Chain A
């Protein structure tokens, strides 16, 4: 196929024209139309007759109101169930300043995004004290969300010259049964730091049966490198 230079230039210019001329934005009504349509299709699939669905809807509303009232009465007892399971241990004594106390409160919030912000606040503090390290280590070991643990780990990794931090990170290797991605990053850090103290922990994990292949490889290589 012929492809002389001036032609190629024109083709490129035409392509650029198509690339750079914008397409108008879609209106909200298209979304609404589609989701109404999809909804109707799902309803049809479930083969639920329209009439009794309306009656049941009103039962549901009535039940909901009744439930709300009962729920409100029992609310003070039920509310203890929903607290975040993040436990902060070893926090006693005075807090250094308002920001620190705010962060320490935020780190117990149910939303992981807020807990991450709290960790960033603690990590940004100059001259962190033992309390902050303890909080970060506790998060690394106990937070229900792996991503929050990772953020705590990265914050701790900036202070590896501190004995408490380093020892805590080594110990944390054994606390990641539910967090393979954290275990992986911890192993990586141990390798980069040449931390031989991590060897016993790492070796014991290699013996676990259902280890993720990537992690197994990383730990094995790390053990080789550190031995």
Chain B
């Protein structure tokens, strides 16, 4: 058995190299020294898909559309201190059916990445520095980590788990999933959540130094017996999954999606 396995592994390594080479050759365009474009075709565009992307430095903007190619455009931000941005930064990706992992080998540059993707995709996005994360018109589940910047979601119809440290979070839902939780947590920043009129949910809100404004009535703390739990809570339309919003230095607003 063992020798056979070794042979299979070797072949798979070769295949992986071919895939990477192929993906660079056929779907990666250099538009200028500063901009690169990657086209990722999807052969089964109706299947649920997932995109994962961790941008070490720079913003991420995702816009959903009705199509079957993922279009990624990355632009290096001009660096004032050192007038030439390094040109050997590169966008690459791994694709397994409809699971795509995007990589940006930034070489110290700040790279702003725009992504056009089918609306049903699930997203797992992270920006580590120097940029906002923006998601528009997506129906799949959204997960965002942006420690140093803002998170802005708009016209979305799924669920969202959002985390920032120094940044505001704005999430505007055109529709919500009846079963999925929503969470938004930040330390220095405001949180705004807009929900459709007919949402069923249990809201749990807390800010240590800030104000809470909600168009839905909020119950006083003390509904829970312990002093450890200081949430302002509210059942909207009879209750449903938990929507938990937490900030330390900032305000929380719950609005109606209009």
CB–CB under 8 A between A and B in the complex?
yes
Tell me the chain B residues, 1-46 only, with Cβ under 8 Å from chain A: 9, 12, 15-16, 18-19, 22-23, 25-27, 29, 31, 35, 37, 39-43
Q: Mark B217-235, 1 if CB is under 8 A from A, else 0.
A: 0000000001111000000
Query: In the complex, A120 Cα to B244 Cα: how many Å?
Result: 13
Partner of B41, one of A63, A79, A120: A63
B43 / chain A contacts, CB cutoff of 8 Å: 64-65, 68
Residues of chain B with a CB closer than 8 A to A60's CB: 26-27, 39, 41, 69
Q: B25: which A residues are within 8 A, CB to CB?
A: 63
B183 A193 Cβ-Cβ under 8 A: no
Contacts A57-B39, A60-B39, A64-B43 given: A150-B185 contact, CB under 8 Å?
Answer: yes
In the complex, chain B residues 122-157 whose Cβ is within 8 Å of any chain A Cβ: 122, 124, 137, 141, 143, 145, 147, 155
B63 to chain A: closest residue by CB: A35
In the complex where A35-B137, A74-B19, A150-B185 touch, is A181 in contact with B26 (Cβ < 8 A)?
A: no
Q: Which residue of A lies closest to B37 (CB)?
A: A46
Residue pair B19, A146 in contact (C-beta under 8 Å): no
Size bracket, chain B contacts: 35 or more
Closest A residue to B18 by beta carbon equals A70
Chain B residues closer than 8 Å to A113, beta-carbon distance: 141, 143, 159, 161, 180-181
Contact across chains for B242 and A64 when beta carbons are under 8 A apart: no
Residues of A within 8 A of B137 (CB): 31, 35
Cβ of A73 and Cβ of B15 under 8 Å apart?
yes
CA distance A80 to B26 in the complex (A): 26
Contact A82 B99 (CB under 8 A): yes
Report the nearest B residue to A181, measured CB to CB.
B185
User: Using an 8 Å CB-CB cutoff, how does the interface string of B67-100 with A read, 1 for contact, 0 for none?
Assistant: 0010001000000000000000000001111010
Say yes or no: B165 contacts A180, CB within 8 Å.
yes
Closest Cβ of chain B to A130, distance in Å, is 22
Q: Which of B97, B145, B228, B249 contacts A189 (CB 8 A)?
A: B228
Size bracket of the A interface: 35 or more
When A and B form their complex, which 5 residue pairs have the shortest distance between CB atoms, in order from nearest? A64-B41, A63-B26, A147-B183, A112-B161, A60-B39
Q: Name A's B-contacting residues (CB within 8 A).
A: 31, 35, 39, 42, 46-48, 56-57, 59-68, 70-75, 77-79, 81-82, 110-113, 116-117, 120, 145-148, 150-151, 154, 157-158, 160, 180-181, 184, 189, 192-193, 212, 214-215
27 sampled A-B residue pairs with Cβ under 8 A:
A35-B63, A35-B137, A59-B26, A61-B41, A63-B22, A63-B23, A67-B95, A70-B18, A71-B95, A73-B15, A74-B19, A112-B143, A113-B159, A117-B181, A120-B181, A146-B145, A147-B183, A150-B183, A150-B244, A151-B183, A154-B229, A180-B187, A181-B246, A212-B187, A214-B187, A214-B188, A214-B248
Q: Give me the interface of B with A, judged by CB distance under 8 Å.
A: 9, 12, 15-16, 18-19, 22-23, 25-27, 29, 31, 35, 37, 39-43, 50, 63, 65, 69, 73, 94-97, 99, 101, 114, 116, 122, 124, 137, 141, 143, 145, 147, 155, 159, 161-163, 165, 179-181, 183, 185-188, 226-229, 242, 244, 246, 248-249
